[in-house]
Structure formats: structure tokens, C-alpha cells
Amino acid sequence: MPADLNDYFKKRNGSGNSDNNQNSGGNNFNFKMPQIDNKKIVPLYVLIAVIVLLIVARPFKVINSGELGIRETTGIYSPNTLEPGLHFFVPFVQNIIIVDAKVRMMSYVSKPIGTQQKIGVENIEASSVISQDSISVKDARNLDFKIDLNVLYRLDRTNAPSTIATWGFNWETKIIDPAVKQVVLEVAGKYNAEDIQQQRESFAKEVKDGITKSIGAQKGNLIVFEDVQLREIMLPEDIRKQIERVQIARQETERTRYEVEKARQDAEKAVALAKGEADAMKTRAQGKADAIKIEADANAYANSQVSKSLTQQLLQLRQIETQAKFNEALKENTNAQIFLTPGGAVPNIWVDSKSAQKSTAISQ
């Protein structure tokens, strides 16, 4: 409490004591106000003021993982981004703006995306998705159709303050959306509508390269482009039916080609088997002929060798041996008849005369 107030209460108590004593009949009663130490009360006031300021102004912000902060001082963005964590700022002079730095998606679909289950992309929350209508394009024949696709991208962390300062917080609809629509329109004009479905990867790659080039033409590295996902090609009903008929005819052609190829392979297999069997029979016949020839040659050679060995002296020797056997036989068969051949080339024939029906030929 201020010092002049203490003095006031002291004087008032002093002057009033005499009156009270007189009126009370001599009773001595003194009233004293508590003394307040200014050195102790001032820090308490300061602490209370700081607490109130923290509650009201909240001069701090928490940046979560996947986010970045941009410090704003009197409307000027600091070029240095703030990383996840607790950061303080000066109330009424500064502010910290939190920006999503995760991978985001601009989805061009006929039906808006409302939940993560409908997104079809992992690790992308519904809050990180901007839904747009399907892109209307024309093919190389000037045929109208629509394309659904997803464009994945993220804000470049280093240049985020300058991007926000230049394009504002709706930078996605100012940078990404025009580039995507323009590039898709140009690329689709190079294809026939029914061919895009068959060449999805090639089409998506051309779109991605075109968007990267278009965004890269902007001053500074504003966006980190991730990917393009072609979802659906919505063709007119008559073109769709025509494509179905072409696909059915193509499948039938493929089936016929398969059957013809299979028949050709079966015929080639049968010819190969027949040729193999014929070759086998020919080989077996040739083997038998060779065996017969070898045997005939062997017999001829043997006969030749035998013929060479039959000399006149050997024949005479064999005749003498045979004659000796007849002589021995005549000792027991005195009535036997013996026919001698001239020159001894044919063996002697011995006929037992006792038995006209029994004859014995001995040759050697």
C-alpha cells in the first residue's frame, strides 16, 4: 500500500485514541492496520500479469511432425522455416503460421472424396486431399471424354515462405490445378481415346513429365512433384461398346491363332515321330543287313580258309583213315559190300548185305 495511506491511518489512530479513552471510561483500545511490504507485492502483480498474458495472448505454438512453421513479423514472412517443436513469438507483433508439409493430393474424380477409404492411396489423409471434377479433354480425333487421376505433390520446405508470400495459402489451386489441366489436355490430344487405356503407363509418364516441366518453369523450387496416378477413362457409350467389340474380336483372333499354332505344332510333332520311327526302322534293317553280311563274310572267309587247307595230301590221309575203319568193320561183317569212288573225292559207302533195308554210311 502507498506510504501516504499508512501515514493517514497512523494519524487517524493517534488522534482517535484520546477520544476513545475518554468515552470508554479509561479503557485503552488501539486499532492498527496491517503493514504491506511494497517490495513483496510488486513481483506478485507482475507474475499475475504474465500469467494472464499467457492465457489471453498464447505467445507460443507447437508444430507437429509433418508440418512446418513460418514466422510472420508485422506482415513480413521470415525466410527461415520453423521445424517441428515448441516455438515462441511476440504477441500482437509476431505470429507463427503452420503449413502442411506432408505429401498432398489433388484428386480429379467424378465423385468427391470424403474419407481415407475412398482415396485409394496409402498414407494420405482425407484432410490432405483437394477434390476436383474430372478433367474434360479431346483425343486426336476431337472426341470428347473425361479422365480421372490423382496428382501427388508436396510443398518444398526450403522455399515454403516465399511460395506462401507469392501465391497465398491457396497456392495449390493457383499452381497445381492449372498446370495439371493444361498438360492433361495437351497429352490426351496425342492419343486416340481407346488407346489410352492400353497405354496407361506411357500416358501417365507423359503427364507427369509435362507437369514437372510446367511447374519447374515457375521461378524457384516451389513444389516437389511426386507422382501421377491414372484412375479411370470415361469414354462415350458408343466408343466404349466399340472397344468391347474390338476386344472380343481380338480375343477370338488370338484364340484362333492359338488353335492354328497348336495344330501346326501337333502336325510337326506327328511328322517328327513318323520320321523318327522310319529312321529307327531303317536303322534296324540296316543293322540286320549288316549283321547278315558280316555273318556271310565270316562264313565265306571260313570256307575259304577250309578250302585252302584241303590239300591233296590231306585228302589222301583222310581216305587212308577211312579205309582203315572199313577194314576194321569188315572183320565183323564179312558179307558187307563196299563201293569205292574213283580218286577218293567221295567217301566209301559200306552196305550191309544181311539187311537190305538197313544201310550205314560212314564218312569222315
Record the pTM. Answer: 0.53
Residue 199: all three cell numbers together = 497405354
At residue 258, φ and ψ (nearest 5 deg) are -65, -45
Report the distance separating Cα 103 and Cα 230, nearest Å. 18
Q: Going residue by residue through the chain (364 aa), what tens digit of pLDDT does each one get?
A: 444 545 554 555 554 444 444 444 445 545 555 555 666 677 788 888 878 877 777 888 999 998 999 999 998 999 999 999 999 998 888 999 999 999 999 999 986 554 434 445 556 777 788 999 999 999 898 888 899 999 999 999 888 999 999 899 899 899 899 999 999 999 999 998 878 878 888 998 999 899 888 888 877 778 888 888 888 888 878 777 777 777 788 888 888 888 888 888 888 888 888 888 888 888 888 888 888 888 888 877 777 777 777 677 767 777 777 777 777 777 777 666 665 565 554 555 555 555 544 444 444 4
Sign of CA pseudo-dihedral 99, 105, 110, 111: negative
| Residue showing cell 507482475 | 46
Adjacent-strand bridge partners of 137: 145
Domain spans of the chain, in order of start: 104-235, 245-309, 312-351
What torsion do the CA atoms of 42, 44, 45, 46 make, to the nearest 10 degrees? 90
Give, as one character, the DSSP assignment of residue 83. P
Do residues 94 and 102 make contact, with C-beta atoms less than 8 angstroms apart? no
> Residue 220 contacts by C-beta under 8 Å, 6 or more apart in sequence?
159, 162, 163
The radius of gyration of the chain from alpha carbons, rounded to an integer in Å, stands at 62
User: What b/e string do you get for 187-200 counting C-beta neighbours within 10 Å, with b at 16 or more?
Assistant: bbeebebbebbeee
Long-range contacts of 216-220 (CB under 8 A, 24+ apart): 218/175, 220/159, 220/162, 220/163
At the top level of CATH, the class of 104-235 is alpha beta
